[in-house]
Structure 1
Amino acid sequence: MPVFISYRHMDRPYAMNINSRLMQANIKTYLDVLDPESQTTDDITGVITRNISECTHLLAVVSEKTALSWWVPFEIGEATITNRRICSFKTGPTELPLYLDKWPKLTREQDIDFFIDAYRNEVTLKRSMALDSVTGSDSMRNANRANADRFHSDLKSRISRGF
C-alpha cells in the first residue's frame, strides 16, 4: 500500500520531510525525486500515471506555489478516478482550491501522525485498498469506494478533534 507524494518541486523540503516520516513508520512511498526512471524518461506522464496506479494513497503537498503547477492537479485527478485515498498537506496560509474540501487536509505535523494512524488502522481492519479493486467487479469497486470514503471521513474527524 504505497503512498504517492505529489508536490511542486519548489515544495520539495516538505515532500522529503513527509516521505521520511512515512518511511520511519514503515510505510512505503513513491517520491519522484528518488526514482531514477522519472529523472531520465521521455514519458514522464506514463511514469507518473503508472506509479499512481501502483499506490493506494496520494498525499499532495499544497502551497501557494502549487497553483502554478499542472502536475499536482493532474496527479490528484488520476488518483480520484481510481478511488485512491487522497489527502493534502497545506503549507503556509494559502487558500486551498474548493475541490480539495472533499478530502482530509493536513496542516500540522501532528496531522501526519493522524494520517499514519489512519493508514495503519485501514490495514489492521482489512479495509485497505487492493490494487485489483480498480479493475475488479462492480462489487469490489463499490467496496473500495466505500472504504475510501470511510478512510477520508475518519481522518477528517480525527483532524478536526485534534487528538
Structure 2
Amino acid sequence: MATKVFISHKNTDSDLAAKVAYRVRLNGLEVYLDKIDDALVKDGPDLADHLLRRMSECQQLIAVVSSQTKDSWWVPWEIGVGSEKGFRMASYSESYVNLPSYLEKWPALHSDRDIDLYCEYSKRTETALNTRMRGVLNEDRRVQVRKDEALDFHRGLKAALRTR
C-alpha cells in the first residue's frame, strides 16, 4: 500500500496546506487534503465520521500550524486521532509560531527542504515497518508496532533536522 499523508489544517491556512500537499506529492507520497473534498460541507458528528474514514486511509499526518490554529477544534482532534493510530507525524509552519507544548513531541518542519527530508525518512523507514508487520495479525499488536516505528521515525527525523 502506498504511503498516504493526511494534511491537517485550519480552513484559513488552506493555501499553505495546499503548498505542503504539493511538495509531499512531488516526493512521491499520496496526500489527503480536505480543501478539495466536497463532502466537507458537513459539520459535527457527520464531519467527524467523514474525517475518521479519510484518516483510516492514511498512515501519516502533517499538521499545518499558524497563529490561527489555536482557534481550531479540528486540528487538535485530528492530531489526537493520528497519535492514537500510531501515525508518523510532524507539524509545519513557515514562520515562528508559538506552538502548544504537546506538539514538541513530533518533528517541526519549516521549509520545502524539511518536507523533502520528512518524505525521504518516510520512504526509507516504510520498508522496516512493513517487515515488522509481517506475521502480526492481532490489531492491538499492529497498532503498537506502528506506534513503536513512529517513535523511531520521529526521533530520527528530529535528529536529522537538528544537524542541518
TM range (shorter): 0.7 to 0.9
**CA, structure 1 residues 45+160, in 2 after alignment: closer, same or farther (shift >3 Å)?**
same
Shift of 1:12: 1.1
Q: What is the Cα deviation at residue 138 of structure 1?
A: 4.2
Question: Partner amino acid for 1:57?
Answer: Q
Q: 1:40 offset after TM fit, Å?
A: 5.8
Shift of 1:61: 0.3
1:92 shift after superposition: 1.9
Matches within 5 A, 1:122-161: 122-123=125-126, 125-127=127-129, 136-161=138-163
- Post-superposition Cα deviations, 1:22-80, rounded to whole Å, max 9, x if no partner, equal 11222111000112322467811111111112210010001111001111011101111
8 Å CA contact 2:89, 2:107 repeated in 1: yes
The 1-side partners of 2:51 and 2:89 are apart by 16
Q: Given residue 79 of structure 1, which amino acid in structure 2 is its aligned partner? A: G
TM-score (norm 1): 0.87
Structure 2 unmatched runs, 5+? none
SS at match of 1:78: helix
Partner of residue 25 from structure 2, selected from 23, 34, 48 = 23
- In structure 2, the partner of 1:14 is 16
CA contact (8 A) 1:7 1:66 kept: yes
The answer on 1:113 being equivalent to 2:116 is yes
Cα distance between partner residues in 2 of 1:101 and 1:4: 19
> Which range is displaced more, 65-74 or 32-41?
32-41
Structure 1, unmatched stretches of 5+, are: none
Q: Whole-Å Cα distance in 2 between the matches of residues 150 and 101 of structure 1? A: 15
- SS of the equivalent of 1:126 reads helix
SS in 2 for 1:59: strand
Identity of aligned residues (%): 31
Q: 21-30 or 65-74: which moved more?
A: 21-30
- Are 1:61 and 1:91, in contact at CA under 8 Å, matched by a contact in 2? no
Q: Secondary structure at the match of 1:127?
A: helix
Distance 1:158 1:31 in 2: 26
Q: Structure 1 pair 137/64, CA: closer, same or farther in 2 (3 Å)?
A: same
Contact 1:115 1:155 in 2 (8 A): yes
- The question of whether the paired residues in 1 share the 8 Å contact of 2:125 and 2:153 is answered with yes
What is the alpha-carbon root mean square deviation over aligned residues? 2.1
SS of corresponding position for 2:128: coil
